[in-house]
Amino acid sequence: MRNQILVKRYSQGLVSALADEKEYHAVCRELAEFSSLLQTRQDLADVLASPFISAKKKGEIITEILTASSFSAKTKRFLGLLFEHNRLALLDDILQAIPVFWNEHKGVSTFEACSVVSLTEDQKSKLKAQLERLEKRPVDVTYKIEPGLVAGISLKKGNIVYDASIRGHLAKLREKISKG
């Protein structure tokens, strides 16, 4: 729970500091590049996670990496802030949260639609139009295949899940039966 709060704070802070769509895409790309570096260079990840290496030495390593990179000043400051507060482990979660907060910043609702099979383009456009009508503002929908649904669709907006799947209906029926 605490990590979710931290991810939200850092993501919202970064998004509020971004000037436009171009800067948003550049910073996201650079953060993903740095995350990839940490994932592919296990020796670097081990050094940064080691309790036996001083914070000063880790700071020098991070500073050297950021100085040698062609990252923007905002990306460097953000990564430095994460390092300074011992939050680099949250980077991947922050990368997943940033698009949602960017959309929110622009007045766009973000949904994740899960279905058993891929939706057709016609189904996607109808779903998006219906969600825009209900939300009374633009929406961004990402689509995901989830074989465990059995049939139907599940929509997720933030922490709210709208479950119109057979699996969801069966779970509700099971709950009613168990309560008597």
Q: Domains in the chain, ordered, with CATH?
A: 2-103 (1.10.520.20), 107-179 (no CATH)
- Dist CA 57 CA 63 (whole Å): 10
pTM of the prediction? 0.68
First CA to last CA across the chain, in angstroms?
A: 33
- pLDDT, mean over the chain: 82
pLDDT the model gives residue 32: 92
pLDDT the model gives residue 1: 47
Number of H helices, E strands in the chain: 8, 4
pLDDT the model gives residue 47: 83
Q: Which residues of the chain have pLDDT under 50?
A: 1
pLDDT the model gives residue 172: 66
Are the beta carbons of 38 and 88 closer than 8 angstroms? yes
pLDDT the model gives residue 117: 78
pLDDT the model gives residue 61: 86
